[in-house]
Amino acid sequence: MHEISIAGAIIDSVLDAARRNNAIKVKEVFIEIGELTALNPKQLKFIFETITVGTIAEGATYNIKVMKSLIHCRKCAYNGPIEFYERLHFFLPVIKCPQCDEPEVDIVAGRECCVNKINIR
Ligand SMILES: [Zn+2]
Structural domain boundaries in the chain: 2-68+109-120
- Give the pLDDT of residue 35: 87
CATH C-level class of 2-68+109-120: alpha beta
Q: Which residues surround ligand 1, an ion (CB under 5 A)?
A: 73, 75-76, 78, 97, 99-100, 102
Query: What pTM did the predictor assign?
Result: 0.81
pLDDT at residue number 95: 83
Tell me what pLDDT residue 48 has.
Answer: 97
Asked if 21 and 112 count as a contact pair (C-beta separation under 8 A), the reply is no
Per-residue pLDDT of the chain (121 residues; tens, 9 = 90+): 578 899 999 999 999 999 999 999 999 999 999 988 888 999 999 999 999 999 999 999 999 999 999 999 999 999 999 876 555 555 556 788 989 999 999 999 999 999 999 999 9
